[in-house]
A and B are shown apart, each in its own frame.
Chain A
Amino acid sequence: MGDQVLYFEDVAEGDRAPELAHVLTRTDLVAYAGASGDFNPMHHDEVKATAAGQPSVFGHGMFSMGLVGTAITNYVGVGNVRRFQVRFARQTWPDEELRTRIVVTGTRTEGDDHLVDLDVRLHNVDGEEKVVGEATAVVPCRL
């Protein structure tokens, strides 16, 4: 959470970031709508969502990406992300437990920058993938 520094020398391919787990609630969706300004009714209005053929309201894709972003910065440090890309594979639903899975796919040096490449995912407890992507962070060196 910013107080623990991840150093380049301590990272190796295959390392995993601590998992972030969260049970999605409708309150989360309302909070995200307000904080993002995304008031698409599919994410907060059960009446409109069901009228549109959805089983219920469903999560903003960007909430899922945001949750993955939180797990990434918890691991590499706030302010260190250089690139973050995802594909939104499936919708998320209230009461689903969402879990991040972040794995180091490589480390490299580019000029003075020490870079860590990550495979980043979000899935539910059944292993159904919600978000699949990758990220690159620049982390400090001990030397």
Chain B
Amino acid sequence: MADDILNTIIGKPTGTTVVTVERGQLALFASAVKDESPIYRDPRAAAEAGLPGIPAPPTYPLVMGNFGAYPELQPGDAPSGNPMAEVIGPLMAKGGLILHGEQEFTYHRPVFAGDVLVGEGKVVDAYRKESKGRTMTFVVVETAWSERSTGEPVCTSRMNIIHRI
């Protein structure tokens, strides 16, 4: 695959997702990352900590699109085609391994149970490196999450995915 294919995906949207953030999922996720704080489980503990609701653990925004993205919430004019799949699909057909290289979150406020959020993703970078006889292809995807009702920004996730062969 030529590098010009990588260049063509930079700036391309990876899709828009609308999610409802659900309380049970937050407690489950907190347990999975070994956090037993009552703040993730009891609204009274959250209120005592000065929070308006049950918050999500800091790394939850990366996975929240996997839950509560109910079909009736999704925008009808979703763009077709996934630029990630366009690049990663052909690479995986040759074998190799997909690795998560880097991850960054910036938070304007915590995510709370009951939030309805819109996530808009786009490819912000794509490049290739040769190292020790291996070919590494990097794709960086940024997803900006905002409140559906107000448009206020909530958090941004920046994910660097590597295909290594």
For residue B63, CB closer than 8 A to chain A, the reply is yes
Question: Are A62 and B51 neighbours in the complex by a CB distance under 8 Å?
Answer: no
Interface size on B, residues (CB 8 A): 38
Question: Are A32 and B102 neighbours in the complex by a CB distance under 8 Å?
Answer: no
For residue B40, CB closer than 8 A to chain A, the reply is yes
Question: Are A83 and B107 neighbours in the complex by a CB distance under 8 Å?
Answer: yes
For residue B28, CB closer than 8 A to chain A, the reply is yes
Question: Are B34 and A70 neighbours in the complex by a CB distance under 8 Å?
Answer: yes
Contact of A88 among B39, B100, B105 (CB under 8 A): B100
Q: Which A residues are in CB contact (< 8 Å) with B67? A: 37
Question: Are B57 and A79 neighbours in the complex by a CB distance under 8 Å?
Answer: no
Given contacts A62-B63, A78-B55, contact A35 B28 (CB under 8 A): yes
Question: Are A67 and B33 neighbours in the complex by a CB distance under 8 Å?
Answer: yes
Question: Are B32 and A65 neighbours in the complex by a CB distance under 8 Å?
Answer: no
Question: Are B102 and A88 neighbours in the complex by a CB distance under 8 Å?
Answer: yes
Query: Across the two chains, which residue of chain B brings its CB closest to A98?
Result: B34
How many residue pairs between the two chains, A and B, have CB atoms under 8 Å in the bound complex?
119
For residue A36, CB closer than 8 A to chain B, the reply is yes
Q: Which B residues are in CB contact (< 8 Å) with A81? A: 58, 105, 107
A 30-65 to B, binary, CB cutoff 8 A, 1 in contact else 0: 011011111010100000000010000000111101
Contact of A72 among B28, B58, B62, B97 (CB under 8 A): B58
Could you tell me the distance in whole angstroms from the C-beta of B110 to the nearest C-beta in chain A?
5
Q: Which A residues are in CB contact (< 8 Å) with B57? A: 66, 69-70, 73
Query: Across the two chains, which residue of chain A brings its CB closest to B106?
Result: A83
Given A65-B103, A66-B32, 7 additional A-B pairs, CB 8 A: A38-B66, A66-B59, A69-B57, A73-B57, A77-B49, A83-B105, A88-B100
| Chain A interface (Cβ < 8 Å from any Cβ of B) | 1-3, 20, 22, 28, 31-32, 34-38, 40, 42, 52, 60-63, 65-67, 69-70, 72-74, 77-79, 81-88
Q: 5 nearest interchain CB pairs?
A: A37-B66, A66-B33, A35-B32, A85-B104, A61-B100
